[in-house]
Chain A
Amino acid sequence: MQKERQHPAFYALLFALIFMSVGPIFLMFVNSFKLDVDIIGGTTGLLFLPTISNYETALCDILWYEPDHLDFCSLKFGGAFINSLIIALISTLLTLIIGCMAAYALVRFRFMGRDSASLTTLMVRMVPPAVLLVPVFGLWNNEFCIGKETWVGSFIRDTLGGRGDVCLAGTHSGIILIYIAMNLPFVIWILQSFIVQVPRSLEEAAKVDGAGPFQVFFQIVVPLIQPGLAAAAIFTFRIAWNEYLLASALSDRNTKTVPILIVNNMSEFNVEWGVIMATGMLLAIPPIIFTLFASRQIITGMTAGAVKG
């Protein structure tokens, strides 16, 4: 396609839109390198001495040296960052595997209960995290527990320590479980539209060659829907990485994720803007990297998700 010459006003509009959407993020980026004095004092613009002390304060518990300006490491950001990483990565991986298999079954097989399964998936997509808060809090704390008197329970208490019954709440797996469940409907929905496009003849040929259904699935279908998997992975990771509400209800001192840390620090009376912007920036970096490298997949996933109602 040849590029026609367009009116310069369109380029001005384009520039203004880019400025508006990136401006706030850039502002946070710049401020995360400023001392609080500079942020509050009003040296607007780019005339300031950049410092990484905010990042040092945030990451003090996993740094190999002790920053000079700190006498006590109060913000356990590093630990939370690692928790976030574990939870987001494991839940993304499991959601993809499980969701991909379910989507394949819904697209390729006719069986009893198929329609109701597919309708249920569609319906639970709209359940907001806030609605899950109450039941998940109750279940994870009271019902999904192993009594400490039982064999497994006493074994876990003996090896890991702690008191009371062994419950899902407060563990990484508790948070991972609810994230998988929350993301599954969406992943199944998106992957269905990709699996439909896989030519049936390929699968038939593999079956004739003697491959079982699982072999066909993992060796023929999965490699062919990689773009769809990439899109689904990004969306799942984004939710698991960014989620606050359920994580805050289910985590304890040792399994806090980054969003919880940020909210807790924001609600204090005296907000340390520099440090909080540095933590915000660290939380924002992985999604930003994904966006810059895989924007095409994200857009495909978004349009596939909305247009294929």
Chain B
Amino acid sequence: MKAHFLNRVTPYAFLAPAGVIMVIALLYPLGYMIYGSFRDWDPSQNISETEFVGIKNYITLFFDPAFHESLSVTLIFAGSVVIAEMAIGVGLALLLDRNLRGMSILRTLFILPMMIAPVVVGLMWRYMYHPTVGTFNRTLKSMGLQGVDWLGQNALLSVIIADIWQWTPFIFILALAALQSLPRSALEAARIDGATPWQQIWYIKLPLMMPVLVVTGLLRLIDAFKVLEVILVMTEGGPGLSTEIVALRISRTATEFRELGTAAAMSNYLLILLLILTLAMLAFTRIQEARTARLARQVQEES
């Protein structure tokens, strides 16, 4: 009897510390935020002293042009970053999937940008983009060309370039791993049938890599909505609102404008967006798993 009881309790004992911490510091705060988003809330107030305002915060945001602006900046940023990184990363992986000396060095050095603090990445790029002191304008001028106003007129583009620099290696490494785990027999067969390299890439490699690529792209998209520090250090959201992504707007609404209720409502909008993306990713992997299972069963039945 005692042993039986112990067996039933063991899994909960292993799970308890993680459960307690995640409930206290993740789930409870999220619930608190949803509760707070329906209230007129000032940082100096305790939440029980605040006034219930219904969905006023959500409505205000829905018609707020500044919020629209930062939402569209976020979507442009995340969209273009993911498309560019997928194209460059997968392209490079296809190009460099061969026996090259020095590949392992490249892979090691390629991860460096991802590991370094976003704050430091922002700092490096802010220096390189500097109108007079910066590396880019100095190089342009020494070649006799006009300097570019990187963080002024082209701020969003500059921020996107910095993110591409930091995160393309992520796609590259995952795409390369996917390429190298492809079934050799399919490629061999295509080669014997006389498929050109382009045909091999287009009809065999890319379709076979697709499941991994979709998950990688979605992961990157979710992460692109979290980017904050790089932009904060490089432009502080400016000039104007041109690089103020939603994450940055949340932090400014909370700390500068001191409207916690609105910031909470904004966080909720962002959370819903990310929830949809995550659900899409989960659904995709489930469907994929079901499909491979069905195929495996078919093969078994036929043999």
Chain A interface (Cβ within 8 Å of chain B)? 1-4, 6, 10-11, 13-14, 17-18, 20-22, 24-25, 27-28, 31, 39-40, 42, 44, 97-99, 101-102, 104-106, 108-109, 111, 114, 117, 120-139, 142-143, 177-178, 180-182, 184-185, 188, 213, 217, 238, 241-242, 244-245, 249, 259, 262-263, 266-267, 273, 276-277, 280, 283-284, 287-288, 290-292, 295, 298-299, 302-303, 306-307, 309
Question: Residues of B contacting A31 with CB < 8 Å?
Answer: 127
B115 touches A299 (CB 8 A): no
A28 touches B124 (CB 8 A): yes
A273 touches B100 (CB 8 A): no
- B281 at interface, CB cutoff 8 A: yes
A280 touches B120 (CB 8 A): yes
What class of interface size applies to chain B in its complex with A? 35 or more
| Residue with the highest number of chain A CB atoms closer than 10 Å, among B21, B47, B165, B233 | B21
- B99 at interface, CB cutoff 8 A: yes
Rounded to whole Å, the gap between the CB of B260 and the closest CB of chain A is 5
Q: Which of B91-144 contact A (CB under 8 A)?
A: 92, 95-96, 98-113, 115-120, 122-128, 133, 135, 138
- B69 at interface, CB cutoff 8 A: no
| Residue with the highest number of chain B CB atoms closer than 10 Å, among A39, A241, A242 | A242
Question: Residues of A contacting B76 with CB < 8 Å?
Answer: none
Known: A105-B15, A133-B254. A291 touches B111 (CB 8 A): yes
A242 touches B118 (CB 8 A): yes
A138 touches B47 (CB 8 A): yes
Rounded to whole Å, the gap between the CB of A17 and the closest CB of chain B is 6
Residue among A104, A138, A283 making CB contact with B36, cutoff 8 Å: A138
Known: A111-B8, A295-B108. A184 touches B18 (CB 8 A): yes
| Residue with the highest number of chain B CB atoms closer than 10 Å, among A97, A101, A178, A244 | A244
Rounded to whole Å, the gap between the CB of A178 and the closest CB of chain B is 6
Question: Residues of A contacting B120 with CB < 8 Å?
Answer: 28, 262, 280, 283-284
B21 touches A98 (CB 8 A): yes
B107 touches A109 (CB 8 A): no
B124 touches A280 (CB 8 A): yes
Known: A213-B10, A298-B111. A137 touches B15 (CB 8 A): no
Chain B interface (Cβ within 8 Å of chain A)? 8, 10-15, 17-19, 21-22, 24-30, 32-33, 36, 41, 43, 46-47, 92, 95-96, 98-113, 115-120, 122-128, 133, 135, 138, 165, 169-170, 173-174, 177-178, 212, 215-216, 219, 222, 225-226, 228-229, 232-233, 236, 246-248, 250-251, 254-255, 260, 263-264, 267, 270-271, 274-275, 277-278, 281-282, 284-285, 288
B264 touches A135 (CB 8 A): yes
B216 touches A306 (CB 8 A): yes
Rounded to whole Å, the gap between the CB of A218 and the closest CB of chain B is 11
B17 touches A101 (CB 8 A): yes
Residue among B11, B118, B264, B274 making CB contact with A244, cutoff 8 Å: B118
B173 touches A132 (CB 8 A): no
What are 6 inter-chain pairs, A to B, with CB distance below 8 A? A25-B112, A102-B14, A123-B278, A130-B250, A267-B236, A299-B173
